[in-house]
Amino acid sequence: MVVIKDLHKSFENQVVLNGISMHVENAQNMVVFGRSGTGKSVLLKCLIRLMEPDAGEVTIDGKDVLSLNLKELNILRKDVGFLFQGAALYDSMSVRENLEFPLIRNFEYTQGKIDEKVSEVLEAVSLEGEIDKMPSELSGGMRKRIGLARSIITKPKLMLYDEPTTGLDPITAKEISSLILDLQNAYKMTSIVVTHDLLCAKIIADRAIVLKKGHIHSEGTIEELLSDKDPFLVDFFSDEVINKNGRD
């Protein structure tokens, strides 16, 4: 589904991505680890050209992303969902209106079809009763669920998650992680997940990479990475557990 070859991105003199190469299979969940500032979120944005990479190749579902014109790129983006850290709901819109927005913008559905799709995703995230509430009336976990519902309402082939459990209590974070896995299985989506949350990664990851100074330092299953005696990995995962417990 996703092939990245020798991807580079710098901001003035700061090199963020320095030759990233990886692939993600269909219906696979890939987790991206790395310390703050190592380019995890930049990588996600470069995949769909929310940021333009400096060099390299990106292929999504067989399409050469970096060669697409704007019209072709927007067509591709209809097949990609993106869940931002803060859920990125429109504060002036109700839950219903937030969910309707990508359908109205990208498709010519009847109101009946839109209502059907809104009901389907609200049921998937177990928030059918919140349809007419405003984002300010929702808890952080609820906003994350609605953000997830809006991301999947177009049934994307690829989902990109940027810190999906940040700011959530441990129980809600676990629920969101399990929901991501359930939706991936139900819709057969491919997912790339940037996270610091080791529990989230253990629940959802088929494979994971660890970024270090713009490179992929390691790749494998979560179990392989956690059992690796490489000093950087030992320190990294020890710090992540300590920091996560501290944030909680």
Examine the domain organization and report whether 169 and 55 are in the same domain.
yes
Query: Is the alpha carbon torsion for 159, 163, 169, 173 positive or negative?
Result: positive
CA distances from 11 to 32, 40, 205 (A): 21, 14, 30
Q: What domain range is 192 assigned to? A: 2-79+156-247
Q: What is the pLDDT of residue 224?
A: 95
Q: Are 66 and 84 a contacting pair, CB within 8 Å?
A: no
Domain end marker among 119, 136, 151: 151
Domain end marker among 118, 151, 184: 151
Angle, helices 111-124/140-152, rounded to nearest 10 degrees: 130
22 belongs to a structural domain: yes
CA atoms lying within 13 Å on the CB side of residue 150: 27
24 belongs to a structural domain: yes
Cα–Cα nearest to 143, from 201, 186, 85: 85
Examine the domain organization and report whether 185 and 71 are in the same domain.
yes
Examine the domain organization and report whether 165 and 115 are in the same domain.
no
196-222 exposure pattern, b = at least 16 Cβ within 10 A, e = fewer: bbbebbebbbbbbbbbeebebbbeeeb
Residue 225 maps to which CATH number?
3.40.50.300
Q: Are 187 and 121 a contacting pair, CB within 8 Å?
A: no
Examine the domain organization and report whether 237 and 181 are in the same domain.
yes
29 belongs to a structural domain: yes
185 belongs to a structural domain: yes
Domain end marker among 151, 178, 197: 151
Residues contacting 10, CB < 8 A, separation 6+: 16, 17, 54
User: Cα–Cα distance between 246 and 243 in angstroms, integer?
Assistant: 5
Q: What is the pLDDT of residue 18?
A: 94
Cα–Cα nearest to 29, from 176, 223, 153, 161: 161
Q: What is the pLDDT of residue 13?
A: 87
Query: What does the DSSP 8-state code read for residue 210?
Result: E
Examine the domain organization and report whether 63 and 165 are in the same domain.
yes
Radius of gyration of the chain (CA): 18
Examine the domain organization and report whether 75 and 191 are in the same domain.
yes
User: Cα–Cα distance between 124 and 132 in angstroms, integer?
Assistant: 17
> What is the count of structural domains for the chain?
2
| Amino acid identity for residue 60 in this structure | I
Examine the domain organization and report whether 95 and 118 are in the same domain.
yes
Examine the domain organization and report whether 43 and 95 are in the same domain.
no
Cα–Cα nearest to 198, from 172, 236, 232, 162: 236
85 belongs to a structural domain: no
Q: What is the pLDDT of residue 247?
A: 40
Q: Which two tokens stand for residue 37?
A: 């500032």
Examine the domain organization and report whether 220 and 99 are in the same domain.
no
Examine the domain organization and report whether 46 and 105 are in the same domain.
no
137 belongs to a structural domain: yes
**Strand spans (E) along the chain:** 2-11, 14-24, 29-34, 55-60, 63-64, 80-83, 158-162, 190-194, 207-212, 215-220
Examine the domain organization and report whether 162 and 241 are in the same domain.
yes
Per-residue pLDDT of the chain (248 residues; tens, 9 = 90+): 999 999 999 998 899 999 999 999 999 999 999 988 888 999 999 999 999 999 999 999 999 999 999 999 989 998 998 887 766 788 899 999 999 998 998 888 999 999 999 999 998 888 999 999 999 999 888 888 898 889 889 889 999 999 888 878 888 888 889 988 888 888 889 999 999 889 999 999 999 999 999 999 999 999 999 999 999 999 999 865 544 543 43
Examine the domain organization and report whether 184 and 111 are in the same domain.
no
38 belongs to a structural domain: yes
Q: Which two tokens stand for residue 176?
A: 């969101």
84 belongs to a structural domain: no
